[in-house]
Amino acid sequence: MTATDLNETMVAFGAVRAPEAVWRQADAQRLPFPDGGFDLVVCQFGVMFFPDRVGAFTEVRRVLAPGGRFLFNTWGPLGAHAFEVALQAALERALPVDPPRFFPTVPHGYADPAVVVADLTAAGFTVEEEQELTLQGRAASTADLATGYLTGTPVRAAVEASGDGTAVRATVIEEMTARLGPGPVTAPMTAYVFRAAPASSA
């Protein structure tokens, strides 16, 4: 098994957590692997971040062996992810002049299955299976959720630029608690799962 990430720090972290895999820094749009080297390529909530999705999918097809498969998922619309609906409302309250738009436009910006299928087709794939899946997300508290979102995503830059991260965090926690409850919190989140094969081997 070969595991990759664009970020060197994540590669180092992953290598410690799962040393049985071979870890490589890699850009999905320029995979550093020979043609036909893998039976399966899996991408966990990554395709939304690719600047050139057709280009990245074409690279996946290049490195797949005959009979190989590409399995990946992407988030559904923002409205189908209750944690992030609450978060976005909280950000708009905390930073009303210029609220961050990262969640609607990036993680949830590739939420039309027809667009995903068109991109796969353009890259030479045939979609074998497409599934909408809704599961329950769980967190110990809205404070934990807020901390993760505000410090572990690109939203952090907007919070720091506001000059009062403490106030922003307090407002976000207050708004998310009003919408979700204090915790433990459970809320639905929807994703799409795709399995595709190179068109010549489908």
The predicted-structure confidence for 15-50, as pLDDT tens digits, reads as follows: 999 999 999 999 999 999 999 999 999 999 999 999
Q: Is residue 23 a part of any domain in this protein?
A: no
State the average pLDDT over residues 59-78.
97
Alpha helices by DSSP H, listed for 3-110, are: 8-17, 53-63, 82-94, 102-105
> How far is CA 179 from its chain centroid?
23
State the average pLDDT over residues 167-186.
94
**If you ran DSSP here, which 8-state letter would residue 107 be given?**
T
Q: Is residue 183 a part of any domain in this protein?
A: yes
Residue 202 has pLDDT above 70, yes or no: no
pLDDT at position 201: 58
> Rounded to an integer, what distance in angstroms lies between the CA atom of residue 74 and that of residue 129?
14
> Rounded to an integer, what distance in angstroms lies between the CA atom of residue 128 and that of residue 69?
9
Q: Is residue 65 a part of any domain in this protein?
A: yes
Number of domains within the chain: 1
Q: Is residue 19 a part of any domain in this protein?
A: no
Note down the domain range covering 112: 33-198
Q: Is residue 193 a part of any domain in this protein?
A: yes
pLDDT at position 182: 84
Instruction: Identify any residues that bridge with 126 across adjacent strands, giving them in sequence order.
Output: 197
Q: Which CATH number covers residue 97?
A: 3.40.50.150
Q: Is residue 8 a part of any domain in this protein?
A: no
Higher pLDDT pick, 124 / 182: 124
pLDDT at position 200: 77
- 3-class SS at 69? strand
> Rounded to an integer, what distance in angstroms lies between the CA atom of residue 141 and that of residue 183?
4
The predicted-structure confidence for 81-98, as pLDDT tens digits, reads as follows: 999 999 999 999 999 999
Higher pLDDT pick, 164 / 193: 193
The predicted-structure confidence for 101-140, as pLDDT tens digits, reads as follows: 999 999 999 999 999 999 999 999 999 999 999 999 999 9
The model's pTM is 0.91
Q: Is residue 22 a part of any domain in this protein?
A: no
Q: Is residue 7 a part of any domain in this protein?
A: no
